[in-house]
Structure 1
Amino acid sequence: MEICEKLEEAKFLIYCLNIRKCLEGGRTAESLINDYEVQYGQLNLTHKLRVVRRVNKFITLLILDVFFCFFIIGPAVIAFWRGTWDFTVYLLDEAEVDRYLSNFISLTVGFTATLLIDLFHSNLGDILGNPGDLKHTLATRIYSVLWGITDIMLWKGVWDGLDLVAGIHWQVSLSSLSVGVIILSVTRTLKSALSMPIGICVDEPSEHLSSQTFLETDKSDPIFRRLCDGFVSRLLEICVVLTWHGAWSFIDIASDELGWSSGFSGLVCLLVGFLGIIFIFLIQFILINTASSNNKMADSSPSVCWHIFNYIFTLVGIFITIASFRGVWYTLDNYYVTDNKYASYMSATVIGYLILLAFGCSSCLHAGIYKDDPSLGVSVTFYYFSHKYVVSLGRTSSKTGLNGVSEIKDLLNMDPENLETKPRLETGGTGISSQS
């Protein structure tokens, strides 16, 4: 009873803060924190208060995250992909395996393995123990590597197979791009084509063995529904491959027409990717703020204009992702251990994975089908240092418990000019969680 009374007192004080307009004028900061909650889980009352009072530091760390994604995590993922993909081609060529057969093998193995992951990922938790255990930790790292390698094989089978059968022409590129984008748009899964460095995935022990599928099935669903989910998710993943293939190969063709070498073209793509990721980071605040100011991330549906803007934003994000990927890939091709391809591929794969492992981002190797639903979050998931900062504040609030009520009282009595920032807290929607 005493706990309930204190929670009610805390909610009333938050309401008083609204009445006093103590935090008026910081709509963007509030919207960002609300959107962070949508994607990473609701914060309890005291926890969110601590984040709000330190929102300037949160945003500063988020800016650092953008550079961290582009210069560290993004290149690590790309190095792993390049090393695995090109090393597979290198081995098959050394073994003189027919190109049609090698692409068929890659497609079959990749499709089957990733389908099995979609079907049975939810059963692995029962087998591999509790999150945090040594057995579970080791298994999740192996899981990430296997998922990454098999997904790359799926991509290689589709990509190289299409090049072998249809050839490399601008008509093929535009057709591939059009088919991929149209199907992903109709199914509202265009965000599935986004990848590093436009956002990252931080390893969470309780969610590491999950797989993002179209119907979001798990072990409690009938096997037929899980099979349908798995096949639909794999087909949508192939549409993602077609989207990337079309855009990437079109840039290749345009570069050849301009007389650019692959090395110079790669450096241009790196520049485009760097400027683009800054553009994406800044523009996302317009989307977040617009959605939040009209209560669009809760129960109501965003306007048609907002959806169009968000759709264009996603398309631009996909292009910047592909440009960044291509830039790092070709830069490694032309400037990293060029005298020994075997060493170049193997070392890139190992170094890339070790970087991901060291920073707790091995789940960046997990593919998935993500829906274009603003209720699931609007902002790009650049969160790394900012996320760890929020988690650290949560540990502090859990230690202090309900002392957060007195902290709210202190905030109520403060002059608004003395606050670190002035976001306006809300008591409903995605604002403040009622859970303690």
Structure 2
Amino acid sequence: MSNSARRSSCNTKQDWKMVELRGASVTGALENRSSNSVHYTILTVLDTIFSTCVAAPAVVGYWRGTWELSDVYIYPDNEVISCIVSIIIGFSGFFVFNVTQHFLDEFFHPDKHRLSYYLGSRCYTALFGFCCVNVWRGVWQALDLATGLLPSTVFATTGIGLLALALLRALRNIAAPPISLSVDSCPGYFVVPTMFRVDNTRNWSLYVLDCAFSVGVIGTLVVFAWRGSWVIFDLYLYPDNPEYSAVGSVVIGYAIVVIMFSLQPVMRYACARLKGLPRIIAVDIFLLISFIGAVNVWRGVWNCLGLWFLPDEPELSCWITLLGCFTLLVLLNCSNSILVRGVYIDAEEDDEKCAAFPCHYLRLFFKIEREKKEARRQNLVVASRDLATITERSAKEENGALLNASDSATVSENPESLV
């Protein structure tokens, strides 16, 4: 065989070897991507089950206990004074926590004092949760006293609340567990996004006004929407049979929630292709249907607790649900889910993220652990501050609806590729 023939044969073998290596590399990448996709799908299903079956009932239990104990201890013999006191307590606390969020975030920073951060943050959640419940209780009772429970006034106030929120592009603030979940991650624990995102370091007076608008206007409109929807089901879903009404709400609520979770891929696909007003309308319709499911879950679980959990000792029943559910949520690292704080804008995320329910629990945990492992492997993490940075970035990526969308510019990776 000539030298040229040998060289040609050798080159051919090398080419085939390169093709085989490339093929193996591509096959490995596809298998890895498929494995990641299956892993992510399993975690998504588990997160959905956790949010609907564990977190949501615990949050409802906490709210029910706090609300009804407020009925017992805050001027029980005078509805008007009781309502006014709840409004004062709730809105004052809301406003203070909004205005001081940056100070609290700096003072209780986990890198400075780990133990004081943990204790301080949980006390913060307990106090803020009490204020949240009292804001809603006060506004709810004020509407009951001022407008009554006639169907016409209930439909009117509900329509006003929903329409105003939609026009302000703040309809997503009606979301609550089980269609949203907030974990107790260290970075951003005390952050409360305001409506206009005013920077407190540049214009303090405008920042205070922004906080006042976020608390007084947006917060009140959200209560309008929830109170109206709840009362509508009181009026029309077995009004003469409390047991059937409670169970009916549980069935309706969970059926809608399961359907809406299942439709998320379709909505994400649609939102990735829609732009401008059509995308906002599509997201708002999706949120409204999901909201009906969430209201029924809350109403059903709440009424079931009242009917069948120590019905002869309602005060003890409320104390157990309050303390027990709060302790459970703290241990599960998602006690922030009891809070109603911050203002979020409809369809403010990029592409399909605006249609995703922020219910990332196991996915967030595994993602953070994987990123830590990868960072250690590359010798990038040598201090706890670096670990906190990873946690913060992962929390922002996975819980976009719970953080300022302006921070999402740093997000460039697909969560599925990291889990």
TM-score scaled to structure 2, two decimals?
Answer: 0.79
Q: Structure 1 residues 273 and 346, CA, compared in 2 at 3 Å: closer, same or farther?
A: same
* Counterpart pick for 1:67 among 37, 44, 49: 49
Letter in 2 for 1:328: V
Pair 1:243 & 2:188 matched: no
Pair 1:373 & 2:347 matched: yes
Percent of residue pairs bearing the same amino acid type: 20
Superposed, 1:166-205 pairs within 5 Å as 166-205=147-186
Q: Which residue of 2 aligns with 1:86?
A: 68
Superposed, 1:294-309 pairs within 5 Å as 294=273, 302=275, 304-309=277-282
Q: Which residue of 2 aligns with 1:416?
A: none
Pair 1:326 & 2:299 matched: yes
Quote the offset at 1:78 in angstroms.
Answer: 0.6
Q: Structure 1 residues 323 and 23, CA, compared in 2 at 3 Å: closer, same or farther?
A: farther
Superposed, 1:16-27 pairs within 5 Å as none
User: Secondary structure at 1:79's aligned position in 2?
Assistant: helix
Quote the offset at 1:253 in angstroms.
Answer: 0.6
Distance (whole Å) between structure 2 residues aligned to residue 430 and residue 129 of structure 1: 27
Q: Deviations over 1:256-281 (max 9, x none)?
A: xx454222211111111211111111
Q: Residue 51 of structure 1 contacts residue 58 of structure 1 at CA under 8 Å; is this kept in 2?
A: no
Structure showing greater radius of gyration is 2
Q: Deviations over 1:81-130 (max 9, x none)?
A: 11011111012355x3x211110111111111101111111111232243
Distance (whole Å) between structure 2 residues aligned to residue 287 and residue 162 of structure 1: 35
Letter in 2 for 1:125: D
User: Secondary structure at 2:100's aligned position in 1?
Assistant: helix
Quote the offset at 1:365 in angstroms.
Answer: 2.1
Quote the offset at 1:154 in angstroms.
Answer: 0.7
Distance (whole Å) between structure 2 residues aligned to residue 158 and residue 169 of structure 1: 17
Superposed, 1:357-396 pairs within 5 Å as 357-367=330-340, 368-375=342-349, 377-378=353-354, 379-396=356-373
Q: Structure 1 residues 212 and 202, CA, compared in 2 at 3 Å: closer, same or farther?
A: same
User: Secondary structure at 1:54's aligned position in 2?
Assistant: helix
Distance (whole Å) between structure 2 residues aligned to residue 175 and residue 222 of structure 1: 38
Unaligned runs of 5+ in 2: 1-21, 381-409
Quote the offset at 1:51 in angstroms.
Answer: 7.9
Distance (whole Å) between structure 2 residues aligned to residue 59 and residue 250 of structure 1: 36
Which of structures 1 and 2 has the larger relative contact order (alpha carbons within 8 angstroms, sep 6+)?
1
Instruction: Provide runs of 4+ in structure 1 moved above 4 Å.
Output: 20-24, 49-53
User: Secondary structure at 1:191's aligned position in 2?
Assistant: helix
Unaligned runs of 5+ in 1: 1-15, 25-48, 297-301, 404-427
Q: Which residue of 1 aligns with 2:11?
A: none
Pair 1:263 & 2:236 matched: no
Letter in 2 for 1:104: I
Quote the offset at 1:336 in angstroms.
Answer: 0.6
User: Secondary structure at 1:370's aligned position in 2?
Assistant: coil
Q: Deviations over 1:154-193 (max 9, x none)?
A: 1111001111222111112111111110111011010000
Distance (whole Å) between structure 1 residues aligned to residue 208 and residue 62 of structure 2: 29
Distance (whole Å) between structure 2 residues aligned to residue 130 and residue 60 of structure 1: 32
Q: Residue 128 of structure 1 contacts residue 135 of structure 1 at CA under 8 Å; is this kept in 2?
A: yes
RMSD over aligned CA atoms reads 2.7
Q: Which residue of 2 aligns with 1:355?
A: 328
Q: Structure 1 residues 374 and 128, CA, compared in 2 at 3 Å: closer, same or farther?
A: closer
Letter in 2 for 1:75: P
Q: Structure 1 residues 228 and 261, CA, compared in 2 at 3 Å: closer, same or farther?
A: same
Q: Which residue of 1 aligns with 2:399?
A: none
Count of matched residue positions in the alignment of Structure 1 and Structure 2? 358
Q: Which residue of 2 aligns with 1:279?
A: 259
Quote the offset at 1:216 in angstroms.
Answer: 2.7
Distance (whole Å) between structure 1 residues aligned to residue 309 and residue 411 of structure 2: 50
User: Secondary structure at 1:375's aligned position in 2?
Assistant: coil
Distance (whole Å) between structure 1 residues aligned to residue 118 and residue 164 of structure 2: 37
Distance (whole Å) between structure 2 residues aligned to residue 55 and residue 140 of structure 1: 35
Pair 1:254 & 2:236 matched: yes
